[in-house]
Structure 1
Amino acid sequence: MSTPHASTVDEATEQSPGVRAAPPLAPSSAQPRRPAGRGFSSASRGGRVAGLDGLRTVAVVLVIVYHVEPDLVPGGSVGVDVFFTLSGFVITRLLVAEYARTGRIGLGAFYRRRWRRLGPAMLAMCVVTALLSVALPLPLFDGAWVAAALAAVSVVNLVRAGEPGPYSDLTTSLAHTWSLGVEEQFYLAWPLLLLVLLRHAAARTVLVWVAVLCVLPVIWRTVLWDPTAAHRIYNGPDTRADQLLVGALLAVVLARLRADDPRLALLRHWAGRLCGPALALLGLIAWQIPITGASGWNPVWYTVGFLATAVVSATVVAALDLCPRAWPSHLLSTSAPAWVGRNLSYGMYLWHYPVIRLLSDLGVHGDRLLPAGLATTAVAALASYALVERPLLRRDPIRMRRWEPVVAAERSSAL
């Protein structure tokens, strides 16, 4: 699928319900009012970026391998950190572009699009898990209806954050949905806060405020840090906010720079040069550094490590967005990983955890579990895409035709 042109995204948003046209210009005799948020570009640079879709495929496969063979990639949960930064980038880029173009953010339309993209597939997975908990006497599904209810309302991360000791069995069957809870809570709060900043501050001031917000969770984690607070820090929406906000900061920076700005050329140059080392560093983290569980790395990762990982991830995101001809973009933009990232990565993340646990309960172990888990997860994700996600885009052809370029871009923000 080709990347939509930026003007296509802009046009689709201007025609979409819930987004008003910009107010008429004041008469020439009137003193023009300085618009809030002036200095941002309404162009969504490059539209959909295939390299970012490929990055999502790599990240979700890394997480799946980590959940099956943690000894193989003890730091594989870094894939979730990459997802967080990518989510903050894509969502903020669209919101800032909408505000620069129309003078407002259609919050109702934004929340509806988020629900249509994420909610039905999540509910389908929760319903299937809850029904199986009643029908099958397997360890995985023992009391799984409680976990399904918590996942459906996106609070699994909050429950886990409140457990100072070992995690209880309350959310075990759908424990992976903690990260979806963090993202949903960010989507709920961030557009409102961003709208306040855009309305009441100049573009440079918005940039400064977002940078400050990136640092606050680090300070808060340092205050909270104690081995008994590891669950609180790892699952809290406030203690993981910097990873999403670093992506948001990158989006704000790019929205500030016009195509002929020499600072954009400098950013493109350094992002291209640092992308390879950044990818290598993320790979090294996944291969050698355990992020979850008790280890000597915990004091580092649970204070400054999350922010450092987000900065490295943002370097990769910037390079993929700005340097489409560089080798990382070529590699991640190939048709297979780009298609999977665009259409299946969210479903794969949703289904991989219950699928792997189900296969394990059915006696699939050892070297067979990883290939069987990947294959079964892909089938479940295809079913989710074909039966739940894609039909919703066709349910209202006229309305969704107007929104589809924006929805397609927003898919890059979903796990």
Structure 2
Amino acid sequence: MSASEVKPGATASQSSYIPSLDGLRAVSILIVFLSHAGYGHIVPGGFGVTIFFFLSGYLITTLLTREWDRHGEIAQKAFYLRRVVRLAPPILITLIVSLGLAGLGLARGSFDLMTVFSQIFFFFNYYALYASEMATVEGLGILWSLAVEEHFYLIWPTIFILLARGRLSVRTLLALLVAILLWRMVRFFGFGAREWTIYISTDTRFDSLLYGCLLALLMWTGRARTLFPDGVWARSLYILGALVVLLLCLVIRDDAFRSTLRYSLQGLALMPVFYYAVTRPEDLIFRPLNWGFMRKIGLWSYTIYLIHHVIIKALVYNGLGREGDIQILLLSAVLSAGFAAAVYRWAEKPLHPLRRKLTGH
């Protein structure tokens, strides 16, 4: 879903564009792409995924607030139908192309029915952790993150309805955020879960989306204006403080910290960054997010995310270089963007009218 489809707090008659969000998508995919292209020692790919999670929670919740403002209810069936129409074409095309490359001997990997089933129906993160046998095309391991998102959205519309009706409060969300942090601690210190297990498990990563949802709710209710003052010095201090926290989260390499507090601190730090990026896009620091080519990359980011690692691994497998080589970086960037542009033009864009009709009202 493009960031140009909704604006927080806007009525139906107002502009529906959210500044900076497509640019933030572009930043996220660039971080992930550079990490997988062999620069992970410099660019932390996991942080790019966390930004994706936060952005997804923020955008979906903003859409729900607009639907509630217009209709006084949420059409949950239509919500899930729109998710299917949005997600299915790119992921199915990516899987077919990836398996085709492996079948032709151009990529390393093989076909396994249950693994493909887990990728299509969004339980690949747990299948990858606990299945006795698993086989997939090299580079498709990143599909774990889609499973986390879709597990979250199985319950979030219901929670949102309870919040909108006053059955739950924002304090409930804060308690849930604390509970997830404590659960990570229990899994790491009590059950001995590895950092990777916590990184890709739904039950330990819910809050990466929930912080984005919380920001959208605070903006909907007007509380965000109180929490994040608009003065230039206040904005500067908030953003500087957020960047310092994010940098510390990247610098600290202790497994216990990275498996527990890291995600909570990143979620908190991203809240002012997103708030000011959306409400003050004209600020110098946020202007690049709204450049035309950044918005275009953001528009293609979902499909680029799906295919880029497969392409990188295939290029290396065919002896065109090693991860970290400039030719691998440039060639995989061109091929990934080209693939994403084609999928958007021929598979995603034709379905936009259908998605707009699936309102449920």
The question of whether the paired residues in 1 share the 8 Å contact of 2:12 and 2:70 is answered with no
Contact 1:161 1:233 in 2 (8 A): no
Correspondence for 2:277 among 320, 328, 335: 320
Query: Is 1:184 aligned with 2:150?
Result: yes
| Partner amino acid, structure 2, of 1:306 | Y
Pair 1:213-2:214 in alignment: no
- Is 1:250 aligned to 2:212, yes or no? no
Question: Are residue 274 (structure 1) and residue 238 (structure 2) matched?
Answer: yes
The 8 Å contact of residues 249 and 266 in structure 2, kept in 1 or not, is answered as no
Q: CA deviation at 1:228?
A: 4.0
> How far 1:312 sits from its partner (Å)?
1.5
Q: TM-score, normalised by structure 2?
A: 0.86
RMSD: 3.2
Q: Is the 8 Å Cα contact of residues 109 and 136 (structure 2) preserved in structure 1? A: no
**CA deviation vs aligned residue, 1:325-379 (integer Å, no higher than 9, x gap):** 21122121111101221x2111110111111111111112131211111111111
Cα distance, 1:281–1:208 mapped onto 2, change above 3 Å: closer
- Contact 1:158 1:236 survives alignment (8 Å): yes
Following superposition, the deviation at residue 280 of structure 1 comes to: 6.3
Question: 1:246 & 1:211 partners in 2: Cα distance?
Answer: 9
User: TM-score by structure 1 length?
Assistant: 0.75
Which residue among 372, 384, 405 is the counterpart of 2:331? 372
Which stretch shows the higher mean deviation, 143-152 or 380-389?
Answer: 143-152
Alignment correspondent of 2:203: 238
1:16 corresponds in structure 2 to none
Identity %: 28
Indicate yes or no: 2:266 matched with 1:297: no
| Residue matched to 1:98 | 67
- Deviation, 1:87, is 0.9
- Map of 1:68 onto structure 2: 37
Deviations 1:7-33 (A, max 9, x none): 997538xxxxxxxxxxxxxxxxxxxxx
Structure 1 residues 153 and 220, CA, compared in 2 at 3 Å: closer, same or farther? Answer: same
- Aligned residue for 1:232, secondary structure, equals helix
Say which of 111, 124, 138 aligns to 2:93: 124
What one-letter code is carried by the residue in structure 2 that aligns with 1:156?
A: F
Tell me, yes or no, if structure 1 residue 162 matches structure 2 residue 130: yes
| 304 and 276 in structure 1: CA distance in 2 versus 1, 3 angstrom threshold | same
User: Greater Rg, structure 1 or structure 2?
Assistant: 1
Amino acid aligned to 1:209: T
- Say which SS state the counterpart of residue 380 (structure 1) adopts: helix
Separation in 2 of the partners of 1:159 and 1:53? Answer: 31
Shift in Å, 1:71: 4.5
- The DSSP-based 3-state class of the residue aligned with 1:344 is helix
In the alignment, what sits opposite 1:115? 84
C-alpha separation in 2, matches of 1:347 and 1:242: 24
User: Is 1:196 aligned to 2:193, yes or no?
Assistant: no
Gaps of 5+ in 2: none
How far has the Cα of 1:116 moved from its partner?
1.4
SS in 1 for 2:260: helix
Answer whether contact 2:62 2:216 (CA < 8 A) is retained. yes
Cα contact 2:208–2:263 (8 A) shared by 1: yes
Letter matched to residue 330 of structure 2: P
Shift in Å at residue 271 of structure 1?
A: 4.5
Change (3 A) 1:161 1:215: farther
Q: Map 1:14-29 to 2 at 5 A.
A: none
What is the CA-CA distance between 1:285 and the residue it aligns to?
A: 5.4
Q: For each residue in 1:175-221, what CA deviation from the matched residue of structure 2 results, as whole angstroms up to 9, or x when unmatched?
A: 001111111111221111221332342xxx52111121121110100
Q: Once the 2 structures are TM-superposed, how far is the Cα of residue 276 of structure 1 from its aligned partner?
A: 4.8
In 1: Cα distance, 2:235 partner to 2:156 partner: 26
* Runs of 5+ consecutive residues of structure 1 not aligned to the other structure: 13-42, 290-295, 405-415
1-structure distance, mates of 2:112, 2:50? 26
Q: Which residue of 1 aligns with 2:312?
A: 356
Indicate conservation of the 8 Å contact 1:230/1:302, yes or no: yes
Per-residue Cα deviation, 1:19-66 (whole angstroms, up to 9, x for no partner): xxxxxxxxxxxxxxxxxxxxxxxx8xx742231111110110110111
Q: Supply the distance in 1 between the matched residues of 2:27 and 2:237 (Cα, whole angstroms).
A: 21
Is the contact made by 2:61 and 2:213 (CA closer than 8 Å) also made in structure 1? yes
- Distance, in Å, in 1 between the alignment partners of 2:196 and 2:22 is 30
Q: Aligned in 2, Cα 1:282/1:383: closer, same or farther, shift over 3 Å?
A: farther
Code of the residue aligned with 2:195 in structure 1: it is A
Aligned twin of 2:288: 331
Distance between the aligned counterparts of 1:62 and 1:2, measured in 2?
19
Task: Determine helix, strand or coil for the equivalent of 2:44.
Answer: coil
Aligned amino acid, residue 91 of structure 1: I
* Count of aligned positions: 352
Q: How far did 1:123 drift?
A: 1.2
Q: Which amino acid aligns with 2:100?
A: L
